[in-house]
Amino acid sequence: MKLKSFLKKQNLIPFCEKLSEKFEIYLPVKDISNNISDFMEWKEYVRLTEGKSEKNSSESQVEINLTERTKKSIKSLFFPPVEKLFDFAIKKNLQHPETTDLELADSVKNIASQSTGERKKIILGIKPCDMSAVKRLDRIFLNGDKTDAHYMSRRKDTIFISIGCNTSSQGCFCTSVGGNPFDFSDSDIGMIEVSDGYAIVKVDDKSAWILEEYSQFFNEDLTNNYDDKIKQIIVSAEENLKNFLKKENIEVNDIPAVMDEYFKSEIWEKITAKCISCAACTYVCPTCTCFSISDESKELSGERYRCWDFCMNYYYNLEASGHNPRAEIYQRYRNKINCKFNYNYKRSSSFYCVGCGRCVDVCPAGMDIREIISIILKNNKNILKK
């Protein structure tokens, strides 16, 4: 990777302040009281730190954190946990009381236009794994003729400034599923943190104007030998991320064949014995997109909304008859793994697990998806030899 420009750490906050005049800025912010980092809108960060010194952590309870992966992904910004789809009114026909009409609110007719007056978004500090997850969300909500207008209205024209992972979290395994801690292919701008700033190593054509318009914050003097530093950082980070499939001498592309062959294997019951089906793993997953739709009404008006749903939930597949095709925990967990490593791979040639490791971090029972996949593959290598 070659250095294209440089943003000094002392220029980060002034850069964000200037950007916020035209854009909605979201960036990772750590809550010092609980040591948890999550994306926060710039205006909220300013409100929490106003009048307080950035250098004195005892004064401020939050700080910008571009180093660590956030506890939750950016998914909820484009696909909220709960979202109103439209308002409706029930119309009674007095001449024909046996019929009832449903009238939708005018706003539902052109949802995409609702974002016209909103400012464009810039997501600064998103990690490569989360950027890969956004691209997978795009395939689900934006591909084909029937795009999701609600998702589109939030996602449209968003600029992503990604930063690589010099250090990885304990649960991270992006390199095992085809990712890389410095994969900026899906980002508009890619940065790598060095001691005194952020090395800009990727700028696509449609985002080059940012470096030009805000050139006062970027250092064009690239005489320092940052290229060697960047190379050292990349090598060190990749060495620390162990590919758990390599020790089994198995390629990720072989996984779907094993999943198909051993769908009915008893191994699923054994490896999920300690799972309590709490669905925490699916809640934090940046690529899970299942949702349910419900109506809430009062008298002759109401609203339809959708909210996240989870395949690990017992009621997810419960039918009106009372039959549940996935009544057992192992059946639901098997479906989740196949969704990530088999079904979606056949549709798009991409795994819908990006290796962020959030599911590993939050599981109260200690379920580790890396161990699950390793056990399945290790016990079924003979399938790959056929």
What residues contact 23, with CB distance under 8 A and at least 6 apart? 119, 120, 121, 122, 159
Per-residue pLDDT of the chain in tens (386 residues, 90 and over written 9): 788 899 999 999 999 999 999 999 999 999 999 999 999 999 999 999 986 655 554 566 899 999 999 999 999 999 999 999 999 998 887 888 777 888 887 655 555 455 444 679 999 999 999 999 999 999 999 987 888 999 999 999 899 999 999 988 888 999 888 899 999 999 999 999 998 899 999 999 999 999 999 999 998 666 567 888 888 999 888 888 776 666 555 667 778 888 888 898 899 999 999 999 999 999 999 999 999 999 998 888 899 999 999 999 999 999 999 999 999 999 999 999 999 999 999 988 899 999 999 999 999 999 999 999 888 887 665 554 54
- C-alpha to C-alpha distance for 77 and 151, rounded to whole angstroms: 9
Query: What letter represents residue 71's amino acid?
Result: K
Which one, of 148, 45, 133, 88, lies nearest residue 299 by Cα?
88
- C-alpha to C-alpha distance for 183 and 160, rounded to whole angstroms: 13
295 forms bridges with which residues in the sheet? 304
H-type helices in the chain, by residue range? Answer: 12-19, 42-49, 75-78, 128-142, 149-155, 208-213, 226-240, 255-261, 267-271, 280-284, 329-338, 344-348, 358-362, 369-378
Helix (H, G, I), strand (E, B) or coil at 246: helix
Which one, of 15, 24, 7, 10, lies nearest residue 54 by Cα?
10
Query: What letter represents residue 276's amino acid?
Result: I
Burial class (CB in 10 A: 0-12, 13-18, 19+), 106: exposed
Sign of CA dihedral 295, 297, 302, 307: negative
What angle, rounded to 10 degrees, do the helices at 369-378 and 329-338 form?
90
40 forms bridges with which residues in the sheet? 27
- C-alpha to C-alpha distance for 255 and 230, rounded to whole angstroms: 33
Helix (H, G, I), strand (E, B) or coil at 240: helix
Tens of pLDDT, residues 273-308: 999 999 999 999 999 999 999 999 888 889 999 999
Using alpha carbons, list the distances in angstroms from residue 60 to 40, 48, 348: 15, 8, 45
The predicted model scores a pTM of: 0.88
Tens of pLDDT, residues 7-21: 999 999 999 999 999
Structure tokens at 88: 């409706």
What residues contact 101, with CB distance under 8 A and at least 6 apart? 90, 91, 93
Matching residue, tokens 């010092």: 32
